[in-house]
Amino acid sequence: MMIAFPKRSIFLLTVLAGVAWACQQPASKTNSDLQLSPEFINEQLDDAVAQIKILADSVPADRMPRTFQGDTSVFSNTGWWTSGFYPGSLLYLYEYSGEEELLQLAKDKLRILEKEQHNKGTHDLGFMLYCSFGNALRLTGDTAAYKEILLTGAESLISRYNPTVKAIRSWEGWTYPVIIDNMMNLEFLTQASKLSGNPRYREIAVTHANTTIENHYRPDYSSYHVIDYDPTDGSIVGKKTAQGAFDESAWARGQAWGLYGYVMMYRETGDEVYLDFAKHIASFILNHPNMPDDGVPYWDFDAPDLGEDSPYASAYKTYRDASTASILASALIELSTQTEEDEYLAQAEKILLSLSSPSYKAEIGTNGGFLLKHSVGSIPHGSEIDVPLTYADYYYIEALMRYRRLLEGRSSVTR
């Protein structure tokens, strides 16, 4: 699939004093379009506040919560890719509740996370720094505390960019691997340009997004997980998976990362190419014959069809992934505000209803303090299978907050 991109100039970026980190969004849905009640949304957020306080009681001062397996809490250091989600969740729930206790808990974790601004050994700085410090800056307006951390982190991230490949390197090893998850770094870069007035961050985000369209996607708008490049000439060495069922399969969370990323890129650039592409990705996901009726995908869209020759056929083919569903719900809520189509909002509402049901949402005081059950980290690695995950909770809370803003007649996204 080849897509021709028109030449376009990078907009001049102006930062007004005290108003950094803000963007506009198309008009919100009217309340008559919304099928979930304020009472329902607030009930889920109230439960999230109660549950995260239980989680907070178990988290060591120098660690971040990661999962809960076999009645055992699992924590990470700040260098692990999920380290920004817990403070980000605390900040969203502070935004909802106004409880200063949650803000203080977040600030305590931001202090130990701060050093990751200098980490050039990972591509996951969008998750680690933007979900945490980005939300902190948005909610507190404290540029003195957070601006330089974010901009230093953005510099660390773009140190991994290769202008020949026209993409940000994801991992070490391989040759020059770029994974679809990397689309989730691009909001960090677009916002860094707004915060600094330096267009380079945004230019790299746009270039990376265009390269990903060119090389990651199949004709049916499903995405490969990993594209491995030759960094000397930008040619493709291989199209692979690391977490999917097989190289040509549609690893579910990867499809959600891509949808979220292109919905965001349309918001940030106004380029219709991104909106059209997001709609195609959404169609692949929502119309897939293996999408369950409740809107919570299997860990790989091809998993139910695995033959007996697959190592994942008997034991793993039916596992669902609540983390994918959470990301999809958040992305679809925003996509619904960018189009006139009603399907996206209806699908997001279905997912939120499913995730908020006892089938996926834990009772308060159980599940190690995590909100959602039944997520999948990486089946090929035998890691975090059918467990709660910190990022599943983060995007579930984000989706609830986005929906709540629509109920209030506001933009679903505030930046």
pLDDT per position as a tens digit, 20-33: 333 444 545 666 68
| pLDDT on residue 29 | 64
pTM of this structure: 0.93
From the list 260, 271, 193, 252, the residue with the least C-alpha distance to 402 is 260
- The reported pLDDT for the residue numbered 33 is 87
Instruction: For residue range 157-203, list pLDDT tens digits in order.
Output: 999 999 999 999 999 989 999 999 999 999 999 999 999 999 999 99
CA atoms of 276 and 311, how far apart (whole Å):
36
What pLDDT does 28 receive? 54
Position 123 confidence tier, pLDDT thresholds 50, 70, 90: very high
pLDDT value for 173: 87
Burial 200-219 (b: 16+ CB within 10 A, else e): bbbbbbbbbbbbbbbbbbee
pLDDT band at 264 (very low <50, low <70, confident <90, very high): very high
The secondary structure of 43-79 as a DSSP string is HHHHHHHHHHHHHHTTS-TT-EEEEEETTEEEEE-TT
Q: What is the pLDDT of residue 181?
A: 98
Taken in order 250, 5, 283, 262, the sign of the CA dihedral is positive
Please state, in angstroms and rounded to a whole number, the distance separating the CA atoms of residues 98 and 93. 8
Domains, the chain, ordered by start: 51-407 (1.50.10.10)
Q: Is 239 helix (H, G, I), strand (E, B) or coil?
A: strand
**pLDDT tens column, 342-365:** 999 999 999 999 999 999 999 999
Convert the pLDDT of each residue in 32-84 to its tens digit: 689 999 999 999 999 999 999 999 999 999 999 999 999 999 999 999 999 99
Residue 12: is its pLDDT beyond 50? no
pLDDT at 122 over 90: yes
pLDDT confidence band for 414 (50 / 70 / 90): confident
Active site residues: 124, 181
User: Is pLDDT above 60 for 407?
Assistant: yes
Write down how long the chain is. Answer: 415
